[in-house]
Amino acid sequence: MTYLSLTESQVKVLQSIDINIPQQLHQQPVLAKLIASYNLIVNFKAAVLDRKATGGGWFSLTLEGNSQDVKNALKDLQELGVEIFYHGSVPLLLENIE
């Protein structure tokens, strides 16, 4: 019997989250940097924004990418002070299994 040894970089995941970006970060491209830095696919499911930017910006998102990249991206968001509410992660596919 052959056992496959998979690394986190071989497994893609789809992570469903809600985030609240605090007002002090509204002028920064938080999500654009996240996408570029971690090569993620981000799907916006919903957003609630205050026109006057007096409160936080709420987003319902799915993040798709390599498992480790998604974890690192979420860690970076937390370090910025972004609130994250997790709704689950689903493995998508395996890459380059030898």
Regarding predicted confidence, which is higher, 39 or 97? Answer: 39
pLDDT, mean of residues 26-31: 89
Domain count, the chain: 1
Q: Supply the CATH number for residue 54's domain.
A: 3.30.70.260
Confirm whether 37 is domain-assigned.
Answer: yes
With residue 84 as reference, give the H or E element that holds it.
Answer: strand 83-94
Confirm whether 29 is domain-assigned.
Answer: yes
Confirm whether 46 is domain-assigned.
Answer: yes
Domain range spanning residue 60? 10-94
Whether the predicted pLDDT of 77 surpasses 90: yes
pLDDT of amino acid 57: 80
Confirm whether 5 is domain-assigned.
Answer: no
pLDDT of amino acid 88: 85
Confirm whether 68 is domain-assigned.
Answer: yes
